[in-house]
Structure 1
Amino acid sequence: MEFVVGATAACGAVIISNPCDVLKTRMQLQGELKARGQYVIVYRNIFHAFYAVVKVDGILALQKGLLPAMSYQVVLNGTRFGLYQTIIDSGIITKENGSVSTLGCILAGAFAGIAGGFLGSPLSLIKTQLQARAHESIAVGYQHHHKGAFIALKSIYIKNGIRGLWRGSSTAVPRAGVGSASQLFVYSKSKDWLDDLNASSIFL
């Protein structure tokens, strides 16, 4: 159940936030491998980037990479929430009073995030490559001419092998671990605090 709830919530967030992710990717790639002043500034700021993308590629271009973005969130959040809850249910990091130990919570959250981040890394790679693809007049960075997520997977595998699908995972996976440890720690401790507050109010 935690897998389904976590994955569904994340997909809902992606649909709303993906346009910002597309613009962020374009602006990060702008001037890639070139010194300042030696490249044309295609996107002056986020508002101009929004205007330029919609004008040239159409409003649907703001949702480029949506399928792999949602798939990544399903894998990442579904795995980490499901795995974290499994660890909680096992009682390994639960104290006698029913609360979760601080260290155990952090370690379990980090482990769950690392697992989800590793499994979803190829989808994150594809998402970024699809988001960067644009009409040549507003294109920035290296253009990967994938026609879809599944074709991108096949193309990367054929060209670079299985390791190519996990390119960049050495930084993405630790990031997922740190983020997951922080989020799940706050979640668990907040839940314990609310449970204690409710228990105390019963006796008032």
Structure 2
Amino acid sequence: MSEVKKVLKEGAIQIGSGGSAGFVEVCIMHPLDLVKTRLQIQQGKSFLKSDPKHYTGVFDCLQKMYKQEGITSYWKGIIPPILAETPKRAVKFFTFEQYKQFFLFGSPTPTPLTFALAGFGAGVTEGILVNPFEVVKVTLQSNRGIGKDRPSTWLVTKDIFSKYGFGSQGLFKGVSATVWRNGIFNMVYFGFYHSVKGWSPESKDPLLEFLRKVSIGFTSGVLGSCFNIPFDVAKSRIQGPQPVPNQIKYRTTFSSIAVIYKEEGFLALYKGLLPKVMRLGPGGAIMLVVYDYMHEFLTAEFK
């Protein structure tokens, strides 16, 4: 096989594996992403537990959503992530492999710095591509409508685009926050996973090897979530409904972080951390493990 065909085949395998990983992860973990967004766009330091319009935590949010909006509300806004996650994860894993070659810096083997920088580059690329889907998703997730009052993905997209286009208040609203969020997450996520996986010995037992990869992937997702959560909160505030209609309070990434810190305190920058960790811990494990096994399967199939 020529060198060009080998490169194209490996690229196709990386894209197919990454797309499969993204699709499986979003279908399983989407309800926790929705809870995270609801908690992040909620403003103020404390709320009455009995107030139906506010949530005191993950399980309170899940309970109130079920009672007020029905079980299907857990998957509000899932169409944009499904449309985005498959190509997004495909692009992320594919570009990670390309950035990894770029950041070898002449070394014959990748180092932890190589993995971290490649992860950051892949996250930045991913953030730019996925931002329009994120704007639509956050808009849908912040909506509390039931049945006919619940807007469709297409209507929300059409409304945003007709009013604001691709501008800073349109489908690219909050793009810098999305880039920072994804860049930092993937820097930690890929950097930790590949470094630790390379250091820890492989097991010949398939079950033990599976558990080894799952535990490293889970830890990678948790650490990435802890490091990037302030940027995720800022993104949700920028892309979500503003406190006062027709007045933009949250504009840029770092100014939004400063406003949240000043008005609500340091812990407000970590709103939604529990559902985020609950999603991206196991979600991170699902993605990396599905990617690894799918990559092995496709490589074997297309020798």
Do they fold alike, i.e. is TM over 0.5?
yes
Corresponding residue pairs, total? 184
Give the match for residue 103 of structure 1.
113
Matching residue within 133, 151, 161 for 1:123: 133
C-alpha distance in 1 between matches for 2:60 and 2:113: 45
Q: Deviations over 1:38-78 (max 9, x none)?
A: 9x552343323222211222101110011112233224322
Post-superposition CA distance 1:70-127 (Å, at most 9, x none): 2332243221211111344x5751755x420343332222111100111001111111
Say whether the 8 Å CA contact 1:121–1:169 is kept in structure 2.
Answer: yes
- 2:28 — aligned with what? 16
Q: Which runs of 5+ in 2 are unaligned?
A: 1-12, 203-303
Check conservation: 2:103, 2:117, Cα contact below 8 A: no
Partner residue, 1:135: 145
Check whether the contact 1:114–1:173 (CA below 8 A) recurs between aligned residues: yes
Q: 1:173 maps to what in 2? A: 179
TM-score (norm. length: structure 1): 0.76
1:67 corresponds, among 52, 68, 79, to: 79
Equivalent-residue separation in structure 2 for 1:113 and 1:55 (angstroms): 37
Shift of residue 169, structure 1, vs aligned partner: 1.3
Q: Quote the Cα distance in structure 2 between the aligned partners of 1:187 and 1:45.
A: 29
2:192 counterpart residue number: 186
Confirm or deny: 8 A CA contact 1:108 1:181 kept in the other structure: yes
* Residue type at the aligned position of 2:172: W
Of 101, 104, 107, which residue of structure 2 is paired with 1:93?
Answer: 104
Describe the superposition over 1:124-152 as per-residue Cα deviations: whole angstroms up to 9, x where unpaired. 1111111111138xxxxxxxx77322332
Structure 1 residues 14 and 101 mapped into 2: Cα distance closer, same or farther (>3 Å)? same
Q: 1: distance between equivalents of 2:75 and 2:61?
A: 14
Q: Deviations over 1:143-177 (max 9, x none)?
A: xx773223322221110121111111111111111
Cα distance in 2 for residues equivalent to 1:146 and 1:56: 13
Aligned to 2:158: 154
The one-letter amino acid of 2:70's match is G
Q: Any unmatched runs of 5+ in structure 1? A: 137-144, 199-204
Q: Output the CA distance in 1 between the equivalents of 2:145 and 2:154.
A: 21
Instruction: Show structure 1 runs of 4+ deviating over 4 A.
Output: 34-38
